[in-house]
Amino acid sequence: MHKVNRFLIFLLIVLSLGKAQQLVLAIPAEEGFLTPFTYVTGYPGYNLLSLVYDTLMIPDINGLPKPWLAEQVRVTNGGRDWTIRLKNVQWHDGKPLTSDDVKFSYEYYRRYPVVSRFTSAVRSISQIRTPDARTVQISLPRPEGNFELSTLADVPILPKHIWENITDPKAHRDSTGSGPFKLVEIRPGQSYRFEANPSYFGGTVAPKSLVVVIIREATATFQALRAGQIAASSRELLPELISQFDKDPNFRLLRGALFTSNLLQFNTAVAPFNQPTFRQIIAGLVDPKAIVDTVLLGQATVGSPGFLHPQSPLYNPEAGQYPRLSLPQVEQRLDQLGYRRGSDGVRVGKNGQRLEFELLAPANNPIRLRAAELIAQQVRPAGIVFQVRALEPNTLTDRVWPEFDVSKGRNYSLAMFGWSAPVINQANLRGMFHSKPALGNLNIGGYANATVDSLTERLNTTVDLAERKLLAARVQSLVARDLPFLTLWYPDATYAVRPSVYDGWKFQRGQGILNKFSFLP
Amino acid sequence: MLLRSLPYLLVFVLALGINFFLPRAMPGSPLLYILGEEVGRLSPEERQRVLVQYGLERPLLEQFGLYLGRLVRGDLGQSFQSRQPVLQIIFERLPWTLLLSGTALLLSSGLGLLLGVLSARYRGGLLDRTSYVGAVLLDAMPGFWLGMLLIALFAVHWPLLPVYGAHTAWANLEGWSWVLDILRHLVLPALTLTLTSLAGLYLVVRYAMIDTLHQDYVRTARAKGLPERQVVFKHALRNAALPIVTLFMLSLGSLVAGAVVVETVFSYPGLGRLLYEAASARDFPVLQGLLLFFSLSVVVFNLLAEVLYTWLDPRVRHAEG
């Protein structure tokens, strides 16, 4: 009897641990050690990193840049000179964060033998001066329209006193930052534990303790949420689970737009996708609304032909929707282009080219795969065959974007592809559409339009928001006409959280709930 | 003995080459995982700098030579992703895999052996029929499905057991509560793995026993009036042991490879999950290290099985002698 009692007490202790006063949040994969050189994914890795480190500016809840470590950001000389006045901030170890740290960080990312994810953001800076401990002056050789979002609000500031003698930054294990949380423990492959920074300059941080656990499987994640073993997840709810969680009074749902894009990418360098008229025919046949309704159960925003999300600050409403074509209209246009139906119903061009193509889709992404199948069904009645081919994601990337260098060419006709949120967040239209590989480094379809080239170049050197809007609007109209790819949808995210454990969550537009604001008043 | 291990050495060397070249034959570059999507923003020179940093720009054969050189010195290299020594990463995960797969192997072997013997002895009876059908059913069940089912039942519907992990992530438990915590986390994954791997040994034991129970010496033993338990376990099972031991040793060899599926479903931090993660991240050093480790253990346990075989069955020894 005595033994049984002891066992029961143990059991109770262990069971009650799950109800401790702290927030347990799940992420899907390990993010390595949390420094700017070792974290792994853009989401949620960078988001976790930003709980520990700060940037000079920050995208606010609507995605617009606002000063953060900076008290004030002044831009002069037509966008070439940036003067930043720092707040009175301390590192986690109590030392003051000064202009020296800022100068050191930006130079460290650039000069260091290890190229980091932040190297390109600081590459163009020509000079950094520190007239006093709280003032930084950054000079650029030419104006940069997106400097605030792509650099000031993106590059984490490192403590100089910790990093100045580090020669292998990827191997360095120290996460002293200035952010709302201190990293106190990592259990490899299992969890991260953070404690609130009691003297955070951005306000009182809650909760006091944050545990981030790794749950690989989506279904297991939501079962753990339902069982109360976690209080939130960086994963969006699977569409089919939304109504279940909505009905459960233990959960609160947060909904909002994500700026992740999902595209039907054309290789515009090969026939017949090199003809805009042919691409327009495909656009007329593909019905993104049907994909959103069928595959995503309505949990997405239909893509804009101009690529930018309707909620992004530079969106042009005139880009409208893709013009739908009726089957007779399509048949007529294909006839005019010289594609006649063969004996099996598949159309054949004058040169004997059958309208039969491979549509590459990532095997690990069931939603994109199902969308590809649906697209294949939508174009089939017109005598066009898309053979859906599921590829391991790395293999797909290798064919669409070999060596991540668009100048290396490409080996596909059609692919389901997409970009993570920052591409739309930072309105990186030059990267997406410029015909020169050095500038259009994301132009994986080989799109070329001289007007778009010059407009995007101007966009990149324009700081004034109104003028940027005008330039971006023209680019979107041209892209909507030329259709280098079809923007099919941007996911709408729904997150389920347990408000009884923690209820301070805030949805940052385009990014989700895992952000600094969720843990600040 | 030396002569006998020669083929194994050859297999090991072959495996070494395959372990090196196979991951590199996969299309796709590790650059994306070293740098993330930002790789698109880098200039070709910067990309080249990264490749040089990781020694990936050299010709494959040269890379292989360097790899072998380091291997001889016991250096498995550093993970591309975490920059930690591969050996350290493997040894961090190894205890969990040994615990999970070891528990499952013991349970499934014990259970398989017992059920197999009883099934054979009472062939055609209720026990035989139910356990046979049960084993075949379990064998056909995908591990992730069974795992999900157990989670839905024992973690959500009856909130008794944890869904993920190997121990409570935030608790600094000690002594018995620590052991209990680990055991609670072990129950569902070990049960899943046991159930899905039960059928193999059960079927082998059952067939081997059915075969031996019909042998003349068993009839003789019975005719001598020996108790049935002694006949079954001493006379029959001993003679049926060869295929059973072989299968068990083979399972031991693949023990360290963990259980990719079960470890993934239950987010168990073992080697199987590490393998999956390293493969999808093109983390060549970790992948090579793991495959090397797995090949080594398979080879060693095969060799052991052979030695044990000779010891168990004098006929093999005499045939050779």
Confidence at residue A17, expressed as pLDDT on a 0 to 100 scale: 43
Chain A residues whose CB is inside 8 A of the B278 CB are: none
CB contact under 8 Å between B170 and A14, yes or no, is no
One domain for residues A340 and A471: yes
- Closest CA in chain B for residue A29: B277
Predicted TM-score (pTM) of the model is 0.84
Kindly state whether residue A414 falls inside one of the protein's structural domains. Answer: yes
Q: How far is B47 from chain A (nearest CA, A)?
A: 8
* Cα A60-A66-A67 angle, rounded to 5 deg: 130
CB contact under 8 Å between B53 and A114, yes or no, is yes
Judged against a pLDDT cut of 90, whether residue A310 lies above it is answered with yes
Judged against a pLDDT cut of 70, whether residue A160 lies above it is answered with yes
Helices (H), chain B: 2-25, 31-35, 44-53, 60-72, 86-121, 126-140, 143-151, 175-213, 216-223, 228-230, 237-239, 241-253, 260-265, 271-280, 284-312, 314-320
One domain for residues A323 and A412: yes
Report the pLDDT averaged over residues A460-475: 93
CB contact under 8 Å between B155 and A229, yes or no, is yes
Kindly state whether residue A240 falls inside one of the protein's structural domains. Answer: no
One domain for residues A73 and A43: no
One domain for residues A271 and A386: yes
Residues ≥6 apart with Cβ < 8 Å to A376? A359, A385, A386, A387, A388
Provide the CATH number for the domain around residue A391. Answer: 3.10.105.10
Q: How far is B35 from chain A (nearest CA, A)?
A: 6
Among B24, B92, B154, B163, the strongest candidate for a mutation testing the A interface, having the largest count of A CBs within 10 A, is B163
Structural domains of chain A, count: 3
One domain for residues A42 and A106: no
One domain for residues A188 and A305: no
CB contact under 8 Å between B170 and A40, yes or no, is no
- Give helix B2-25 / helix B60-72 axis angle, nearest 10°: 140
One domain for residues A111 and A214: no
A210 SS3 class: strand
Confidence at residue A487, expressed as pLDDT on a 0 to 100 scale: 97
What is the span of the domain harbouring residue A209? Answer: 2-48+179-235
Confidence at residue B302, expressed as pLDDT on a 0 to 100 scale: 84
Q: Measured on CA atoms in the order B263, A172, B64, B35, is the torsion positive or negative?
A: positive
Cβ contact A507:A255 at 8 Å: yes
One domain for residues A379 and A455: yes
- Closest CA in chain B for residue A45: B36
CB contact under 8 Å between B155 and A405, yes or no, is no
Kindly state whether residue A390 falls inside one of the protein's structural domains. Answer: yes
One domain for residues A364 and A452: yes
Among A114, A166, A190, the strongest candidate for a mutation testing the B interface, having the largest count of B CBs within 10 A, is A190
One domain for residues A123 and A212: no
Last residue of a domain, one of A110, A137, A163: A163
- Closest CA in chain B for residue A442: B40
Chain B residues whose CB is inside 8 A of the A26 CB are: 164
Query: What residues does A82 pair with on adjacent strands?
Result: A75, A138
Establish whether the linkage from the previous residue to A305 is cis, with ω within 30° of 0.
no
Confidence at residue A167, expressed as pLDDT on a 0 to 100 scale: 86
Cβ contact A279:A263 at 8 Å: no
Chain B residues whose CB is inside 8 A of the A419 CB are: 37
Task: Name all domains of chain B by residue range, CATH numbers in brackets.
Answer: 2-72 (no CATH), 89-320 (1.10.3720.10)
CB contact under 8 Å between A403 and B274, yes or no, is no
One domain for residues A318 and A185: no
Confidence at residue B36, expressed as pLDDT on a 0 to 100 scale: 61
Closest by Cβ to B82, choosing from A33, A45, A395: A33
Chain B residues whose CB is inside 8 A of the A33 CB are: 82
Confidence at residue A12, expressed as pLDDT on a 0 to 100 scale: 44
Judged against a pLDDT cut of 70, whether residue A512 lies above it is answered with yes
Greater model confidence, A83 or B309:
A83
Confidence at residue A9, expressed as pLDDT on a 0 to 100 scale: 47
CB contact under 8 Å between B83 and A168, yes or no, is yes
Two tokens at B29?
A: 């570059």
One domain for residues A268 and A225: no
Provide the CATH number for the domain around residue A41. Answer: 3.40.190.10
Kindly state whether residue A20 falls inside one of the protein's structural domains. Answer: yes
Kindly state whether residue A503 falls inside one of the protein's structural domains. Answer: no
Element at A486 (helix H, strand E): strand A485-497
User: Of A10-24, A253-267, A504-518, which range is least confident?
Assistant: A10-24
CB contact under 8 Å between A119 and B50, yes or no, is no
Q: Considering only CA atoms, which of A433, A439, A518 is closest in space to residue A484?
A: A433
CB count in 10 Å sphere of residue A25? 23
Kindly state whether residue A508 falls inside one of the protein's structural domains. Answer: no
Q: How far is A150 from chain B (nearest CA, A)?
A: 11
CB count in 10 Å sphere of residue A90? 14
Kindly state whether residue A500 falls inside one of the protein's structural domains. Answer: no
Q: Measured on CA atoms in the order A498, A499, A501, A507, is the torsion positive or negative?
A: positive
pLDDT averaged per 10 residues, chain B (length 321): 77 86 77 66 77 81 87 85 86 92 92 92 92 91 92 94 90 88 95 90 91 89 88 84 82 76 92 86 85 87 83 69 44
Kindly state whether residue A132 falls inside one of the protein's structural domains. Answer: yes
How do residues B74-125 score in pLDDT, each as one tens digit? 888 888 877 788 999 999 999 999 999 999 999 999 999 999 999 999 999 9
Judged against a pLDDT cut of 50, whether residue A192 lies above it is answered with yes
Closest by Cβ to A42, choosing from B36, B171, B177: B36
Residue B32 burial by Cβ neighbours in a 10 Å radius (0-12, 13-18, 19+): buried
Judged against a pLDDT cut of 70, whether residue A7 lies above it is answered with no
A308 SS3 class: coil
